Structure 1
């Protein structure tokens, strides 16, 4: 496959998923990504054993989607940046890199000598990229955040999806949900910055915050709220969907599954839909025969559609609705998504060989070049490539051993 980032060197000093996910995207696109992990502790995410009460790995394998997903295709270097002996290695890596990628907080960056001024003093042409919780300015610039707080809770999404009287907040639909979206956003920013550097010679600093990504994801509702002068009303509990269009709604099937309709032009799609579901008579019903009538009697039409959909199973409706012009989808679970016919046809469920030689699967990068799916490789084991990387920097075996003795590298 064509790899537009081939030849680009990325130095990643980051943990967890938000920023490392950006490095994974760049690696998929062909960049050489060196992931710096603390020489003793490694990426803190390696210590997480459960997500949403699910094990992140299985016994007898090093493969763990929590690490392999956002770290695919990288090389791992164990380096203790707080030790003076590690500075030589860090500085040489910075000199050789096109991109510096971090999510460390301001205090840690200053203490470790990896803030913008520190890195730019070594390599003024590097694209310094920072992922943060709440942005580089303002009263929360020094505050850490995860996607559950900065992206989900603060963006308005959690509030909108939590019904009045609920016992708790509606949680994100997946672990690292905002982190993964944010990682792709960062990768896009880096691509633009490298393009600008090639055209103008200026290497801009790239800043992306989880809060900003969350606000961008909910921008339509935020913009409407700002125009309306207050928060938007929430959907009524139990409501199917749009109050004036029965074809923008979610309906329960006979086997307790859900079919989502999203046909924004009701007059265009109503006759075909009615014929497909075996109720062609509804298209001629004077209540629903025009767009105005259908909108005015949307509640009645919705009740009829709900009764019709409830009469067959999910699989039966898939067979019936396949091929109609109007837009619809089954509400899938994660297992079904992993076997989605369109994802599979486009190579977006990718085979990855783990360290033990077994084939595993990961969701592939959604961006394709020349209509060819990315071919990811597994994430690195902790400090797996330390000797290899230090050798590329020109260090002798004796120098590497000295660094290991003092604990500067693993």
Structure 2
């Protein structure tokens, strides 16, 4: 069965993470994604290691693990866009594509004739998505944007980390480049919305996505906590600003998470923990009261949870439908029976390593399932095929372009 987007072709001028994440989503859904890279260098993340993918003998290949996370199901071509012939090739490819995704600085592609205004002239149906740090306008528009910087500037790090006065206090970034990932998700949604509009209007459009905009939008309840009160929320470690108890707790052999979302769950926890009176104490009987009396309640719960090992707590609490769980390492994650049952680790053939592991796409379709067609491509692996099949270039012309360092 062809993928849901198997009728769509994407020219991917992006690199690093936010843009490639969005185009990998489109590729997983069946789109033909042509990844354009610099000759001899490629996407920066190809070199962001160690760790590197190992071959069947256990030796490092030249492929960084970072690159492998966001580039499967794509075709890689190498084109030097700084050369006029390279620009002509890319414009010709844009004429054959439905979507262009790029994450250059604002105005950075105009001098090459690869900006939206230029490409719209040759392909009015083109959906063109620009991903930048700060958007196409505003006082910060010329600046480069980086996930870590945006996590700080966009408020996320003011909410993440231990509160002042506790051991280890201070702002902390999220352990993955979350703003980039979220921007990639928004980009994939926006592109599909623009394609749906094109089906009705016949015209493409320009999508302006900024990491800062996405980060602010994804502050979610914390943004509304501020906007409705005028008071900036602070860091709470692993605690929740609106629900108690909803955080990590010490156990006899480590830590566990309690994610208690209502008063009934809290009463059942207290019963299992051997202190049912806590659930009827007016200071703790409702979530509102527990939030107001957090500083009193949490130390009391810590004294209870530390009496048993994590696995014992989880068995006991799951039996009475109290949400809880361990804090897994990634080794634990990929050995978890639910993760295994859902097939979240997949393997694909790879020309250098024999096999390459991948994390499965979480979208499950009943009629157009995600297909793992191609591993993350080698640099320029598909240049000849793309130029011949889409642009009709003869082998001799492709050889000349390569000799001239255009491709």
Aligned counterpart, 1:380: 377
Q: CA deviation at 1:204?
A: 2.2
Do 1:106 and 1:115's aligned partners in 2 also have CA atoms closer than 8 Å?
no
Cα deviation for residue 362 of structure 1 reads 2.1
Correspondence for 1:339 among 320, 325, 335: 335
Describe the shift of the 1:315–1:326 C-alpha distance in structure 2 as closer, same or farther (beyond 3 A): closer
Work out the CA distance in 1 between the residues paired with 2:123 and 2:335.
Answer: 45
In structure 1, how many angstroms separate the alpha carbons of the residues matched to 2:288 and 2:405?
76
The alpha carbon displacement at 1:67 in A equals 0.9
**Which residue number in structure 1 is paired with residue 109 of structure 2?**
109
Shift of 1:232: 2.2
**Structure 1, unpaired ranges of 5+:** none
- In structure 1, the partner of 2:172 is 170
Residue 137 of structure 1: how far off its partner (Å): 1.1
Q: What residue is the counterpart of 2:259 in the other structure?
A: 262
Matched positions, count: 397
* In structure 2, C-alpha distance between the alignment counterparts of 1:108 and 1:245, rounded to whole Å: 46
| Inter-CA distance 396–68: structure 2 relative to 1 (3 Å threshold) | same
> Which residue number in structure 2 is paired with residue 157 of structure 1?
156
Query: For residues 2 and 322 of structure 2, what CA distance do their matches in structure 1 show?
Result: 35
Who is 1:87 aligned against?
87
How do residues 1-400 of structure 1 correspond to structure 2 at under 5 angstroms?
Answer: 3-50=3-50, 55-58=51-54, 59-150=59-150, 152-162=151-161, 163-164=163-164, 169-174=171-176, 176-235=177-236, 241=239, 247-256=245-254, 258-266=255-263, 268-277=264-273, 279=274, 281-282=276-277, 290-291=285-286, 295=290, 301-356=297-352, 358-370=354-366, 374-376=370-372, 377-392=374-389, 393-400=391-398
Farther-moved stretch of structure 1 (349-358 vs 3-12):
349-358
Taking a change above 3 Å as real, the CA distance of residues 324 and 6 of structure 1, as seen in their structure-2 partners, is farther
Mark the CA change 1:335 to 1:373 in structure 2 (over 3 Å): closer, same or farther.
farther
Structure 1 residue 383 displacement after superposition = 0.5
Structure 2 spans left out of the alignment, 5+ residues = none
Q: How far 1:37 moved relative to its partner? A: 0.5
Q: CA deviation at 1:2?
A: 5.9
State the shift of 1:21 in Å: 0.9
Question: Residue by residue, what CA displacement relative to the aligned partner does 1:78-105 show, whole Å, maximum 9, x if unpaired?
Answer: 1001111223321221111000110011
TM-score (norm 1): 0.87
Q: Deviations over 1:169-228 (max 9, x none)?
A: 413212x33212221221111111111111222322112111111112213222322332
Shift of 1:321: 2.4
SS state at 1:381 partner: coil
Contact 1:346 1:373 in 2 (8 A): no
Distance in structure 2 (CA, Å) of the matches to 1:363 and 1:138:
37
Asked whether the 8 Å contact 1:8–1:31 carries over to 2, the reply is yes
Q: Aligned in 2, Cα 1:36/1:250: closer, same or farther, shift over 3 Å?
A: same
Q: 1:107 to 1:201 in 2, by over 3 A?
A: closer
SS where residue 252 of structure 1 aligns? strand
| CA offsets 1:254-273 (integer angstroms, 9 cap, x no match) | 112x222222212x123322
Once the two structures are TM-superposed, the CA of residue 292 in structure 1 deviates from its matched residue by 8.3
Q: Is the 8 A contact 1:350 1:375 kept in 2?
A: no
CA gap of 1:37–1:284, structure 2 versus 1, over 3 A, is closer
Q: What's the offset of the Cα at 1:62?
A: 4.7
1:2–1:336: structure 2 CA closer, same or farther, 3 Å change rule?
farther
CA contact under 8 A between 1:63 and 1:355: conserved in structure 2?
no
State whether residues 348 and 373 of structure 1, in contact with CA within 8 Å, keep that contact through their aligned partners in structure 2: no
**Counterpart-to-counterpart distance in 2, 1:293 and 1:88:** 63
CA RMSD, Structure 1 to Structure 2 (Å): 2.8
Query: So what's the TM-score if we normalise by structure 2?
Result: 0.88
CA contact (8 A) 1:249 1:261 kept: yes
